[in-house]
Structure 1
Amino acid sequence: MLKNYLRTSLRHLWRKRLFTALNILGLAIGISSCWIIYRIIQHEFSYDAQLPHKESIYKVVSAFGSGDKMGGISAPLYQGIREEIPGLDHVVPLFYQWINAVEIKRETKTDFIKDDPQQIAATDRAYFEMLPYTWLAGSKASALNTPESVVLTASRAQEYFPGTPPEDILHKTITYFGRDTVQRTVTGIVADYYRPSEFTAQEFLTLPEKTFEKYMWTNTNGSDKLYLQFRAGANVTAILDQINKLDQRHWKAFGEERGSPIKRGKSYELLPLKDIHFATDVSDYGVRKTSKAVLYGLVGIGVFLLILACINYINMSVAQIPQRGREIGVRKTLGSNRWHLIGQFLLETFLTTLFSSILASAFILLGFWIVSDIIPEGLTPYSSPRLFLTFTLSLTLLITLLAGLYPSWLITRVKTTSVFKNFFSGASATRRFSLQKVLIVFQFVIALIFIVSTIIVSTQLRHTLKADMGFNKEAIVLVDVPWKYQNNPRYKDKQFTLLNQLRNLPGIEHIALGSAPLSSGYSSSPFELISDKKDPAGIQVFKKWIDTAYLSMYQMELLAGRNLHHSDTTNEFIINETAAKAFGFKSPQEAVGKMMRQSGNSAFSIVGVVKDFHSQDFYTSIEPLALMSDKQNLLTFNIKLNTRNPSQWQATLKTIKKQWGNIYPPDAFQYHFYDETLESLYIQERQLAKLINLATAITILISCLGLFGLATLTAFQRTKEIGIRKVLGATISGIITMLSKDFIQLICLAFLIASPIAWWCMNKWLEDFIYRVDIEWWMFAVAGLSTVCIALLTVSFQAIKAAIANPVDSLRNE
């Protein structure tokens, strides 16, 4: 019997090749989308999943008064916690290091030199006590006992000493070039740690024990990280309170040492290890983050696409039932019961889904290529053939049940007597309500939500990139002096020599040295306003270093006072409007001439107040800011190219590179256009926009396939009605309007349902932006009109075909 069912199913699928192809296409898109999303979700939630005792490990995070959070800490904090706070198994500092280059002497080959090595951290034994590294050579107990020690991962060891067994690498010497040149001896080799992970260091230096000066408690370094492993039963909240009291006590001691109190500008929070990867509100050096809300959104998109594919199959299958009436009648006459009919149809559904799964394998490769910039690094389409087979087989069975049960049940309702009278009413599309219509409405509700989301997300992205940021960013090129040359005596102050040479080049309108106005990096410190009051007024102020040409080049407006004078060191400040208001000045003019100082430093005059500009992304409000001059921090060239002749930009850049080569090594010349840098700050938003655009396109495609199926059903069932109307004088346009009217009503109903849902979802998303666009009526109007147009194009094929048919052909069979 099964063999007969299989043969019959294959014959039917082949006979209805168009519908079969459309069904396979829709289901293949749904299955491939689900697998790609599953792979991304599986990867993102697997961060440090294999780490034992991960529930007891926390990361210390700095929280500033402005609301910003950073994954770095004050360097002395780990020492204070170790000395004073009980209840912890391990206190683990991990301070990432800046190294210019490493060198390994080789006896038989050319010496190995690597510039700008990454993932080098200073730590101690506690790190390897907390994390379960496998030791290939050396001992965990003694590997970092001496200041000259270094431990390598297996991959880094093979890079430095290719083909050498781990035991033979021990006692090898590596030379590190940085602020100082030091030699270290390899004392341990560990296997590469589980990936993906928060812990990405590849090279571990001994963290030296030293006594920190009191002012170091007020500094925060984003590359200095601290992890705490709590003992069983420890009170996390109580220990966090002790940490903050410890820190506050040292801030107070520093204030007493310098003779005036200092307001504590930050506090500490504890972030569970399982949440670190998803803490997008915490800026973290060298750590990749993912929004959990985006991942849940991806899950929702995958579920919706799968449901839409099933809806598409149901509608297409129901559309064919009237044409299968005689086949069903004959089967029932020859003795087939309802379970035989259901089994036959479910087998057809299973085969269709199985063919879809095969096609989905190709779509998965295509999908990974299309969204390659969203796929996490190192993630491949197929990690395990067994996992993929299990996933697709499970999905195939699920789809078979979801998509096949209703049409198969509908088939059993066909009455044999009605079939042979050429009458079928099992799935009338002319009823006021039917499941097919409900499903079509549901499909277009989802499609409209995606379309509205696409419009709002793209509008917000354009706003963040095109809005007035308080400075002119057009045709700006940034070139950084590589940090490995910044402290090299050979290149001391060479940026000023190059600056003077570039000023005279044709094609350059303006040039200045200084920090970019808006960037992902920032530096802040407590600043005090010197006044007649007993206690100086203090606030947290962000800092940027500029030269005298900076304000003019970026066209920043001075509201009061003057520009900075040329100086080798800081001796005066320009502050922004927000800083002036935070200090309590009633007007910008009132701030000019007042004295302020960074905590612990000499006081200098405020010489100007600049109009507010954005120094951080649009998620962050404009904060108090001070502009100052200090030549040792002027390490970025801000070059404005000739805006009247963009065709010559590349020639100008080549000339700049040539001049650069006269001062610095030519290969150190790396430029980037500032507008591209600003776009990179919103990479997560652009990825979200791409996902929504892709989901919208897939949703519309699948929805239109389902609409095509319902249009086919309607045209078939109303063939004789159309013939009679034409005989009685109905026009082709009138018939097309009649057939399309019902579908337009469905789209309008979907629009009424989708609009409030889309408004709520997008309003919640926009809440994260301090500077956001308004949700306006035209966004919904565009979504509704575009959906109606798409639906009309889909339905018009069947409508026109039915309208131009010869009425004689349709009435002859009556």
Structure 2
Amino acid sequence: MQPPKFADRLLRLFCAPHLHEEVLGDLHERYVVRANQLGEKRARRRYWLDVLAYVRPEFIRRKPTEFPNPTNAIMIRNYLKITFRTLTRNKLYTTLNVAGLTFGVTCFLLIGLYLFDELTFDQQHSQSRRIYRAIQHKKGPTEDLTIAASSYKVSEESKKNIGEIENTARIVRTGRANLTNPENKNTFQETIAFANSGMMEVFDFETVDGSSKSALKEPNTIVIVEELAQRLFNTSQVTGKNISLESMDKPLKITAVLKNHPRNSSFDFNSIISEETLLHDADFAEWTSNWASQNFMTFFLLKEKANLDVAARKITQLLNANAKLDVGNTMSYSLQPLADIHLYSENIVDGARNSNVAEMGKGVLLYVKIFAVVALFVLLIACINYMNLTTARASNRSKEIGIRKANGAFQSHLVKQFLTESMVVTAVSFLLAIVVVNLLLPAFNEFTNKQLSLGFSTDYRIWLYALLALAFTGILSGSYPSLLLSKFSLLSLLKNLKLQNKGDLSLRKGLVVFQFTISVVMIITTIVLFQQIRFANSKNLGFNKELLLVVDINSAKIRSGAETIKAEFSKIPTVKNVSTTSRVPGEWKTISTIKIRPEGNADEHKISYLLGVDENFAKTFEVRLLKGRNFMNTSDSSSIILNETAAKLLNITNVSGQLVEIPERAMGGSYSPLSTGQTFHARVIGIVSDFHFQSIREKIGPMVLAYQNNPVYPIDYYTSRVEGKDIPGTLAKMNEVLTKIDPTHILEYHFLDEQLARFYAEDQRRETLLIWTALATIFIACLGLFGLATYAAEQRIKEIGVRKVLGASIFNLTALLSKDFLKLVLIANGIAFPLAWWAMNRWLSEFAYHIDIEWWFFAVAGSLAIVIALATVSYQAIKAALVNPVKSLRSE
């Protein structure tokens, strides 16, 4: 029997707050008596009359100042005093709350630092919001290319003719060469880049010696980074000193030493030579005359309030007005914000920070989104854990709350008290989390290859976000418990009645289902990641990647002495086979592509990759020859071998010396004539089985194997299959062979299987991060489950006592308390399985070759969640079942 709710609301509106409990209590008691005597209908009418009778001056709501109120300072001091007493009196629950929140906040902060670093790439430049990279879009009958490049003319003339552009920076890489300090002969093989003076004007590169703004204005000058200066000179104070480049006659004067690039920078150069140095070079003159070329990476600094789309359209118009494009080709430009380069360059050639390892950048944006959601979920789960543990203690605090209400405490006072407790626990957890994060950061930075920090020098935005997270966590964690515990009536509290209703318990169960849903999804995700990486590392690549030692060719003498070097390498006892190639399978550099079609065929040219190889390639790499024959010697200079995919592309099934024509090649950009200027006419002598020459994210493409002295691309590597013993001795002997041919040559090598593993290094990092986050999530969820089990045991303590007196065993009682929680975990599994299946299918779609999602992934994850949940709940259930029934049934 409930009195009219609207009447109660009306009474609360006009009745003074301090009289609510007294007036409503009297009215409710009178209503129950009348309902029993006169019937509920008449009782409701009389109730309305009673409510209206209270509309008198002594009852009408008064302003707070009309009755005494303690000052805010006194109340805050009281809240803190009660909070301290409550937390110290309940050490177990306080420890569980602090532990859960500390775990959650630690994970949140670590992932947050990682994401902040990813999302703030290149923002260290003061004009970053006005800097844009030129993106060239070229379409034609046989190519559809989007590349982060422009021609010299587009870069230079846009600055002069387009009003929206304030300045232009451009940089070009020309390959690798030896840089030498003439004083001590220290020599290092470095990637050589040239840039105009605008590179130092548009960007803010910090210097440790010299001035960057004027560093690249004169010819024969070079800017190096601090790390290279230390290697060359053993000091960073080297402005004014000279270094020599093997391909240049004149020395290069160092005009500035830059600080090492931060990890969240799209620039990774160690040195830049002034563009003025090349002005009289014949090759450079050719670059500067072609409007449609793609030699430079160009950055435009737009003027304040300049329209981005207008600037891009004008650049395209300028290009089309001056460029001479082949029939059927179109070209245009767009401008990419500097801040978007890191995360939004997946489909742009040379778009990633490290263009040599573009595979590593794939899917970065997807992972950023995933980790952002995971970080929020971990923090939310920690808050849910606090709610469950706090409400589990509700019955223990019923009399305290009742006495407070009897002494005049309003609901708002109780809400503030519980929110104060929540904020104190959250603040302590945040302080502990900051300590833990700083202890973990050295290992975390080494693992993620970043330079993250959380201290006084940390970006203020990180601290601002952390403080907002602190406030959010404290308020969210304390909101539900404070509202729940403060809304009960004075009568229920003082009589120690059951402090719950069906909706409250359902909400808490729903929160536990949510916790375990996230935990199970993360367990399945971790299993799939592990299996896919294992698959990638163990997949048959079509060649044997083990113990293949790859040595770079870093000088013209080492390239021209190939036959001598191969013969000398073969004499080393631990070397089994030696081959020379232009690139190697699993290449991290750009593999050249060609246009190819059968002789006499009028169809459009097909696109294929090309590797220059020698007669030892198939034997060294253990690639299977399916049809025809292998290369023999230089008499095969005009011969080629196709892989299965290329043979299908060209419709060649039987090898009988078919002729093909190869007129053009490309190295990641547009196609251009071969170095000879003439079409390469080749005959097909064999077909080999398909083998992976890229990451397994990519389908095996068509591949042409041309003999090593082909006109497309020269040899660049020696690859030896070696024995797995005395590797240092093998390398020393190889170095002796190379230095006899070229004393200045620097030995640069790697094992191919290690290089292939780098394709999936980021995935392995992400897998490990998810594993640790999943473990933390499960731990926090278990704390929440422990809280709910404690709450259930407290609420059913008398029922357990009665059942025990009537003969129930400990096993029966444990099963009774555990089965409800088992249902929650089963529901969580039912929700988590389809979510995980959808997410993992989306991730696996990045790979052309991937595992199938097996049923046992879900079975293992679900069973693990059930076992963990039962282990957590069983402890509390057994503890409740062991309580003496006399004690639990005792009347208080």
What TM-score, normalized by structure 1, do the two folds share? 0.84
Residues 41 and 139 (structure 1), Cα distance of their counterparts in 2 relative to 1, 3 Å cut: closer
The gaps in structure 2 that reach 5 residues or longer are: 1-73, 665-677
> 2:527 matched to 1:455?
yes
In structure 1, what is the equivalent of residue 547 of structure 2? 476
CA shift in 2, pair 1:162/1:549, >3 Å: closer
Matched position secondary structure for 2:445? coil
Aligned match for 1:405, one of 479, 490, 495: 479
1:396 and 1:247, CA in 2 relative to 1: closer, same or farther beyond 3 A? same
Give 1:638's match in structure 2, choosing from 708, 719, 724: 719
Contact 1:561 1:592 (C-alpha < 8 Å) held by counterparts:
no
- 1:450, CA displacement in angstroms? 1.3
Residue equivalent to 1:662: 736
Secondary structure of the corresponding residue to residue 193 of structure 2: strand
Residue 382 of structure 2 is matched in structure 1 by: 309
Q: Report the Cα offset of residue 195 of structure 1.
A: 7.9
Distance 1:369 1:714 in 2: 43
Aligned to 1:198: 266
Q: What's the counterpart of residue 773 of structure 1? A: 851
Aligned partners of 2:289 and 2:679: how far apart in 1?
16
Matched, 1:497 2:567: yes
How many pairs were matched up? 775
CA distance in 1, matches of 2:850, 2:751: 25
Give the counterpart of 2:661 among 582, 588, 596. Answer: 596
> Cα distance, 1:565 vs. partner?
1.5
Q: Distance in 2 between matches of 1:385 and 1:357?
A: 16
- CA shift digits 1:571-629 (9 cap, x unpaired): 311111222222233x2x15753333353343121111112222111222222211123
Equivalent residue of 1:620, what SS?
coil
- 2:263, 2:619 → 1: CA distance? 48
Q: What is the DSSP-based 3-state SS (H/G/I as helix, E as strand, rest coil) of the residue aligned with 1:182? A: coil
User: Where in structure 2 are the equivalents of 1:577-596 lying within 5 Å?
Assistant: 577-585=644-652, 587=653, 589=654, 592-596=657-661
Match of 1:790 among 868, 875, 879: 868
Cα distance in 1 for partners of 2:610, 2:411 equals 78
The alpha-carbon deviation at position 704 of structure 1 amounts to: 0.5
Give 2:365's aligned residue: 292
Residues 243 and 254 in structure 2, CA contact (< 8 A), matched pair in contact too = no
Residue 182 of structure 1 aligns with an amino acid whose one-letter code is K
Alignment of structure 1 residues 429-578 onto 2, 5 Å? 434-473=506-545, 475-481=546-552, 483=554, 485-487=555-557, 494-502=564-572, 504-505=573-574, 510-514=577-581, 515-533=583-601, 535=602, 537-567=604-634, 570-578=637-645
Read off the aligned partner of 1:583 and give its amino acid letter: L
Q: Does the aligned pair in 2 maintain the 1:149–1:206 contact within 8 Å?
A: yes
Tell me the secondary structure at the aligned position of residue 527 of structure 2: helix
- The residue correspondences of 1:689-768 to structure 2 (distance < 5 A) are 689-768=767-846
Please tell me whether Structure 1 or Structure 2 has the larger radius of gyration of its CA atoms: 2
Choose the corresponding residue for 2:133, options 34, 54, 58.
Answer: 58
Cα displacement (A) at 1:156: 6.7
CA distance in 1 between partners of 2:346 and 2:456 (Å): 27
- Offset, 1:27: 0.9
CA distance in 1 between counterparts of 2:810 and 2:578 reads: 69
State yes or no: 1:8 paired with 2:78: no
1:543–1:626 Cα contact (<8 Å) kept: yes
CA distance in 1, matches of 2:261, 2:840: 40
Which AA in structure 2 matches 1:556?
A: V
In the TM superposition, what whole-angstrom CA distance separates every residue of 1:495-537 from its partner, at most 9, and x where no partner exists? 31332213x43xx55544434322222322333334224x475
Pick closer, same or farther for the CA change 1:355–1:463 going to 2, 3 Å: same
How far the C-alpha of 1:8 sits from its partner, in A, is 2.6
**5 Å matches for 1:292-441?**
292-373=365-446, 375-382=448-455, 384=457, 387=460, 390-426=464-500, 434-441=506-513
Alignment partners' CA distance in 1, 2:199 and 2:684: 46
**SS of alignment partner, residue 372 of structure 1:** helix
Q: Secondary structure at the match of 2:836?
A: helix
Q: Distance in 2 between matches of 1:196 and 1:575?
A: 42
- Confirm or deny: 8 A CA contact 2:266 2:342 kept in the other structure: yes
Indicate the SS of the match to 2:499. coil
What is the one-letter code of the residue matched to 2:549? Answer: L
Moved more, 536-545 or 227-236: 227-236
The Cα of 1:713 is off from its aligned counterpart by 0.8
Q: 1:544 to 1:215 in 2, by over 3 A?
A: farther
Q: Does 1:178 align with 2:249?
A: no
- Supply the distance in 2 between the matched residues of 1:144 and 1:386 (Cα, whole angstroms): 31
Aligned amino acid, residue 612 of structure 1: D
The one of 243, 263, 272 equivalent to 2:337 is 272
Contact 2:394 2:499 in 1 (8 A): no
Report the Cα distance in structure 1 between the residues aligned to 2:224 and 2:121, rounded to whole angstroms.
22
Evaluate the alpha carbon distance shift between residue 570 and residue 590 of structure 1 in structure 2; reply closer, same or farther with a 3 A threshold: closer
**Higher mean C-alpha displacement, 561-570 vs 232-241:** 232-241
1:43 to 110, 117, 131: 117
Q: Deviations over 1:39-61 (max 9, x none)?
A: 22333332333442744522335
Deviation at 1:791, TM superposition (A): 0.7
CA shift for structure 1 position 749? 1.6
Paired AA for residue 25 in structure 1 = A
Change (3 A) 1:590 1:51: farther
**Contact 2:225/2:258 (8 A) holds in 1:** yes
Amino acid at match of 1:498: E
- Which piece of structure 1 moves more, 760-769 or 402-411? 760-769
AA matched with 1:274: A
| Partner amino acid, structure 2, of 1:518 | G
SS of the residue corresponding to residue 604 of structure 1 reads strand
Contact 1:574 1:626 in 2 (8 A): yes
Task: Give the letter aligned to residue 619 of structure 1.
Answer: R
Q: 2: distance between equivalents of 1:64 and 1:655?
A: 52
CA distance in 2 between counterparts of 1:31 and 1:513 reads 54
Could you tell me how far 1:416 is from its partner in structure 2?
4.0
> 1:197-216, aligned counterparts within 5 Å?
197-201=265-269, 203-207=271-275, 208-209=278-279, 210=281, 212=283
Identity %: 27
SS in 2 for 1:805: coil
Tell me, yes or no, if the aligned pair for 2:225 and 2:259 is still in contact at 8 Å. Answer: yes
Q: 1:612 to 1:265 in 2, by over 3 A?
A: farther
Residue number in structure 2 paired with 1:608: 686
**Structure 1: distance between partners of 2:322 and 2:620:** 42
TM-score by length of 2: 0.77
Letter in 2 for 1:235: V
In structure 1, C-alpha distance between the alignment counterparts of 2:719 and 2:170, rounded to whole Å: 37
Report how far residue 190 of structure 1 moved: 7.5
The separation in 1 between residues aligned to 2:647 and 2:559, in whole angstroms, is: 39
Structure 1 unaligned segments of length 5 or more: list them: 106-110, 253-262, 643-648
